[in-house]
Chain A
Amino acid sequence: MADLWFALVCLMLTAFVVLDGFDFGAGTLLYALARTDDEKRAVHAAIGPYWDGNEVWLLAAGGSLMVSFPTALAAGLSGFYLGIFLLVWLLIGRAMSIELRAHLPHPLFSSLFDFGFTASSAGAALVLGVALANVVRGVPLDEGGFTLPLFASAAGGAEVGLLDAFTVPAGAFAVLVCATHGAAFVAWKTSGAVRDRARRLVPRLVVATAVGWAAMLALTARFAPAAFAAFTHRPLALGLAALGALALALVRRESSAAAEAAAATADRRAFLASAAFVALVLGAIFGSQFPYWLRPPASSPPSTAAITVASAQVEASSLRTALMWWMVGASLAVSYFVALFRANRRRREDA
């Protein structure tokens, strides 16, 4: 039952990244995709119906983690204290930028809100990538939780920090992945010049993502050997990663096809492939993490505590009760999203 809940929480986190990831990406690429005010509005309009609901998946994942592994949530959030608040403030900044741009049309301040939207979107993707990398690398835990210095030496020694030689590149990689995903989404959901730019951008971003991914694997082997060993020894994780590579290749193929033939259906296929890529990469990471919520870093003594599925789980009866409402609630949530994507199926023609 606890293993199932590990999977469910990972699934919800994946849903959050797949869904809000394209919002982050669209925000990150705002200036690359849109030049005029109308074009920027088209990018905003593309994510407009979705971003608010997408963000809820983060809260839903948090609630599910609390009910199933409360000590993992407690140690993780309090240990990454400043990082979490940075993320919270960036999410506030993003929401305010989007809302203000819609409600306060102003020739001068609109560009300020655009900048805020881009900076907070890229920043949030970066922080999330850094956080995930910290979890993969491990943290120095004891009974009270853990604290990490904000920075560690970039030389890449034994010292670990919230931001260090492993986590910062991982954050950058997360921005890149979200950007690719966001470009694929914008290509699908807009028209005209914005769509053309997005279509041209996706194949190039895919190449950058592939290179970045290879680099991240090398860095993981170097800085997070335990996670990397789990990855290379588990058929599930390797299989998901292989499928992820396939999905990434598919993104490139479909987006190139969309650019050449101006085929809207190819845009949609490219976006779906990109969503699959994000989900599969996260699946491979979570598959390598199991059964650890928080593992000790390579540099710490072997006796250092860890938070695992077994150590953090709560009573099976409680998990069974939670599974009841979870299944009903998650089905409702999925049905809302299906309805939402259907209601907005028609390509926006205002760009």
Chain B
Amino acid sequence: MTDALVWHRLQFAFTIVFHYLFPQLTMGLAALIALMKITAAVTKDERWAAAARFWIRVFAVNFAFGVVTGIPMEMQFGTNWSRFTGFAGAVIGHSLGMESLFAFFLESVFLGMLVFGEKKLGPRRHLAVSLLLWLGTWASGFFIVTVNAFMQHPRGHVVRADGTLAMGDFVAYMTNPWALAELAHVLSASLVTASFVVSSVGAYYTLLGRHREHAPLFLRIGVRVGVAASLLVAFPTGDHQAKLVAEHQPVALAAMEGRFETERAAGITLIGQPNVRARRLDNPVVVPAMLSFLAYGTFHSDVRGLAEFPERDWPTNIELLYYSFHLMAGIGTIQIALMAAAAAFELRRRLDRARPLLWALLLAAPLPYIATTAGWLTAELGRQPWLIFGVFRTADGASPRVHSGDALFTLIGFAGIYAVLALLFVVLVGRIVGRGPSAEAEEASHG
């Protein structure tokens, strides 16, 4: 049984990490496409319309991959986590049901109109469709974040006589403060991903000297949104998220920082290795008092260490949690620096000649994906050993009757299938990028 739990967890972790590579671009790109179309409508500049059309082609492929990798996620609530579903389905089912009805239908029906309907609909209605799709993707993000927020910080439920959960206060559940903070952080991060991807393609064309009409537009919108979103993801959204963790999950904060002892005016660790066996952080490089300030707003607050909490409530993998958090924060800092530098050149119209910076933008596309993945690992590993924080343990949530061999079998199956999907995604998007945003490419893609 214990070893089945490992496979259940690993399968969910693997499939959700792979899945989320796609929606993070979908959500951000939906906003950027709408922005491009609005710019096209305002400036009457045909190049912006062509830019939007190019990114709609990428969006469509990315969206399809998000859908096919999303279906397994919905199913796993029942297949692999049946006791969790039995325990909390009456609460989280509200979010999952609403996500299908309010977001998935909207997205799946209007995507076709966005991709194929521009001529038929005309520019105004096509712009409206792009706004609807933006709304749909962000609504989908909101609904699923309410599920995660409930797992992090349960609100709105009541406990039944048999110990399982029922919906108590629907409004409190939907307006969980954790959900609103998390949504802001997640949406900013999705804008970071999309703006890095758009800038990367812009930098690629510029370095190659191809598509000189459209590449500067990609760089302009990518870098401008990129610098704003990179800042937003850190402050105020990331900062706010961290303060919520400090307030409601102090044990998770202690583990994220590899902090075993309580300390007043605690410093923040830039580098170091948690040594759980010896209960200390090896080789730390610390900025004094910063953690107290970031977590609680004053330099002299206490930051509690792991020693203050019973060991059975410690996150189950402190090392991975520590590295994930520091990786996220580190990459987040690099993202701000890179986008700020690029924006400084872009605003003076000198970015197209700054080849080292263009190279950096070209190669930086994976960074937000890594940071986002590390961020989710931080959130979900920090939640352990709870499936619903403080209420329901992860070990109690798995399906009792699913054999470890079955869980391992499907995990390996997903590994194989997703390897093929990853390859296909690269081929499909590579073709679109190779053809570029010119008019001939549009002909070819509809031919």
Chain A positions within 8 Å of B, measured between CB atoms, are 48-49, 52-53, 55-56, 59-60, 62-68, 70-71, 73-82, 84-85, 88-89, 91-92, 95-96, 99-100, 103-105, 144-147, 314-315, 317-318, 321-322, 325-326, 328-330, 332-333, 336-337, 339-340, 343
Shortest Cβ gap from B52 to chain A (Å) = 19
* A318–B79 CB distance below 8 A: no
Task: Select from chain A the residue with minimum beta-carbon distance to B61.
Answer: A103
The 4 closest A-B pairs by CB, nearest first: A70-B89, A329-B101, A77-B78, A67-B93
Alpha-carbon distance A270/B75, docked complex (angstroms): 34
With A66-B89, A81-B402 given, is the CB distance from A326 to B71 under 8 Å? Answer: no
The interface bits of chain B over 10-28 (1 if a CB of A lies within 8 angstroms of the residue's CB, else 0) are 0000000000000000000
Instruction: Report which of B64, B74, B82, B409 forms a contact with A78, defined as CB distance below 8 A.
Output: B82
Question: Which residue of chain A has its CB nearest to the CB of B166?
Answer: A315
- Shortest C-beta distance, B149 to chain A (Å), equals 17
Q: Which residues of B contact A103 (CB under 8 A)?
A: 61, 428, 431
- A314-B90, A325-B98, A337-B109 given as contacts; is B166 within 8 A of A77 (CB)? no
CA distance A88 to B105 in the complex (A): 19
Contact B78 A76 (CB under 8 A): yes
Binary contact track B70-82/A, C-beta < 8 Å → 1, others 0: 0110110111101
- Among A55, A74, A322, A329, chain B packs the most CB atoms within 10 A around the CB of A74
Q: Is the Cβ of A52 less than 8 Å from the Cβ of B108? A: yes
Q: Is the CB of A78 within 8 A of B97?
A: no
**Cβ-defined contact, B167 with A75, below 8 A:** no
Q: Would you call A144 and B93 a contact (CB within 8 A)? A: no
Query: What residues of chain B lie closer than 8 Å to A70, measured between beta carbons?
Result: 85-86, 88-90, 93
The dominant DSSP class at the A interface is helix
* A63 to B94 Cα, complex, angstroms: 8
Cβ-defined contact, B104 with A60, below 8 A: yes
The 8 A CB mask of B92-117 against A (1 = contact, 0 = none) is 11101111111011101111110001
The residue that B167 contacts in the complex, of A65, A99, A315, with Cβ under 8 A, is A315
CB distance from A62 to the nearest CB of B (A): 6
Shortest CB-to-CB span from B102 to chain A, Å, is: 5
Q: A67-B97, A325-B97 are in contact. Are A99 and B413 (CB under 8 A)?
A: no
Assess whether B285 is interfacial by the CB under 8 Å rule.
no
* Residues of chain B in range 24-69 having any CB-CB distance to chain A below 8 Å: 61, 64, 67-69
Interface residue? B426 (CB, 8 A)? no
Q: B residues engaging A (CB < 8 A)?
A: 61, 64, 67-69, 71-72, 74-75, 77-80, 82-83, 85-86, 88-90, 92-94, 96-102, 104-106, 108-113, 117, 120, 166-167, 170, 399-403, 406, 409-410, 413, 417, 421, 424, 427-428, 431, 447
Residue of chain A at shortest CB distance from B97: A63
Given contacts A63-B100, A66-B96, A89-B413, A77 and B64 within 8 Å (CB-CB):
no
A295 CB to closest chain B CB (Å) equals 18
Decide: B94 and A56 in contact? CB cutoff 8 A. Answer: no
A104 near B427 with CB under 8 A, answer yes
CB-CB under 8 A from A144, the residues of chain B are 400-401
CA distance A206 to B61 in the complex (A): 38
User: What residue in chain B is nearest A73 (Cβ atoms)?
Assistant: B78
- Docked Cα-Cα span, A85 to B71, in Å, equals 10
Interface contact B74-A59, CB-CB below 8 Å: yes
Rounded to whole angstroms, the CA-CA distance of A343 and B428 in the bound complex is 28
| Interchain Cβ contacts under 8 Å between A and B, 5 examples | A56-B100, A88-B75, A92-B68, A95-B67, A336-B110
B112 touches A333 (CB 8 A): no
Contacts of B431 in A (CB 8 A): 103-104
- Is A62 touching B102 in the complex (CB atoms < 8 A)? no
Known: A85-B410, A332-B102. A145 touches B82 (CB 8 A): yes
> B82, A95: Cβ atoms under 8 Å?
no
In the complex, A326 Cα to B170 Cα: how many Å? 14
Are A78 and B101 in contact, CB atoms less than 8 angstroms apart?
A: no
Name the distance in Å between B18's Cβ and chain A's nearest Cβ.
12
Chain B residues contacting A48 (CB-CB under 8 Å) are 112
Known: A60-B105, A76-B78, A332-B106. A147 touches B100 (CB 8 A): no
Pick the contact of A329: B102, B167, B410 (CB < 8 A): B102
Residues on B with beta carbons closer than 8 Å to the beta carbon of A325: 94, 97-98, 101-102
User: Separation in Å of the B274 CB from the closest CB of chain A?
Assistant: 36
A147 to B61, CA, bound (A): 38
Question: In the bound complex, what is the Cα–Cα distance between A321 and B90 (angstroms)?
Answer: 11
* Contact for A88 among B72, B85, B108, CB less than 8 A: B72
Instruction: Report the nearest B residue to A79, measured CB to CB.
Output: B401
What residues of B have a CB within 8 angstroms of the CB of A62 in the complex?
74-75, 78, 96, 100
CA distance A105 to B431 in the complex (A): 12
Q: Across the interface, name the chain A residue whose C-beta is closest to B427.
A: A104
Besides A52-B108, A66-B77, A329-B102, 6 new A-B residue pairs in contact (Cβ under 8 A), listed by A number: A70-B85, A74-B83, A78-B82, A78-B401, A85-B72, A314-B90
B97 touches A326 (CB 8 A): yes
B402 partner residues in chain A, CB cutoff 8 A = 78, 81, 147
Most buried by A among B105, B401, B413: B105
- Which of B68, B74, B99 has the most A CB atoms < 10 Å from its CB? B68
